[in-house]
Amino acid sequence: MSSRPEIQAPPEIFYNDDEARKYTSSSRIIEIQAKLSERALELLALPEDGVPRLLLDIGCGSGLSGETLTESGHQWVGLDISQSMLDVAVEREVEGDLILGDMGQGLALRPGVVDGAISISAVQWLCNADKSSHDPRKRLKAFFESLYRSLSRGARAVLQVYPENVAQRELILSFAMRAGFAGGIVVDYPHSSKSRKEYLVLTCGPPSLSSATPQGIGEDADCSNDESSEDEENQAVCVSDRHRPRKKQKLNKKTKGRQWVLKKKEQMRKKGNAVPPDSRYTARKRKDHF
């Protein structure tokens, strides 16, 4: 991922009027957002008794994810930091209420009122320090603590994230655990680099059977091994060549040789390039300089 929006500008500036319109007029983005929020709602595992719940959508943007919530009959309140995105949401006449707010400042909600929270591709923004007053650790702490408070007991929060690297994922997860959440990361399609999606599934309250992390889609039974082996790969230390004995280094070194150089020179001559004449010095190693 070379063009991560997170490294371009702070969210309230990156999602300006143009970007907000682009975001909502692209059928591809709409489809992805709808799929992500459907999966998030599934992971939320609300009791299926037909009673609408009050849900929170963190980083609701133009309300694409909220639409999925409305379709399944729930009431929702959305929070976003970008005025332009919320303006688009108002234009699209979404059903839920919208709040302009910064999740890194903590959610301005009364304790225990929300039945569940979802967030699509938003939480990784907290890892950035866009202003001199921003400290990612403080902002993550404020966010998770206020989220924990505002959820009712036993409620779940499903946060789909795009962490930049392993360290960022661990940072987010550690602050969630520190705030008192139980749960973990569910990875859908772990073997695909494109459709791989990570969800933080957090449960409010002490760990129990119901708070066990669900299985991701498209992974085998040994998915946990896969996860850890991948982490190891990333953390593996490269053994530097200079610590090896000199002799071995020499043996391992494979140069192309005089024959190869002569062949190449001949080829270049045939092409009509200017090539220096062959001599006994051709393809000989230069003298070591101190």
Positions that interact with another protein (CB under 8 A): 50-54, 75, 77, 81, 83, 86-87, 90, 97-102, 105-110, 112-114, 131, 133, 142, 146, 150, 152
Closer to another protein by Cβ: residue 86 or 201: 86
- Taking the complex as a whole, how short is the minimal distance between the CB of residue 77 and another protein, in angstroms? 5
Would you tell me how many other CB atoms lie within 10 Å of the CB of residue 186? 22
CB of 12 to another protein, least distance (A): 9
Three-class DSSP labels, 129-162: CCCCCCCHHHHHHHHHHHHHHHEEEEEEEEEEEC
Tell me which DSSP letter residue 206 carries.
S
Q: How far is the CB of 140 from another protein (least distance, A)?
A: 14
Q: 50 vs 272, which CB is nearer to another protein?
A: 50
| C-beta of residue 148 within 8 angstroms of C-beta of residue 182 | no
Within 8 A by CB and 6+ apart from 153, the residues are 112, 204, 205
Report DSSP state, residue 177: H
Please identify, using beta-carbon distances, which residue of 112 and 207 lies nearer to another protein: 112
Q: How far is CA 67 from CA 30, 64, 93, 197, in A?
A: 10, 5, 10, 20
Q: How far is the CB of 223 from another protein (least distance, A)?
A: 36
Would you say 9 or 283 has its CB closer to another protein?
Answer: 9
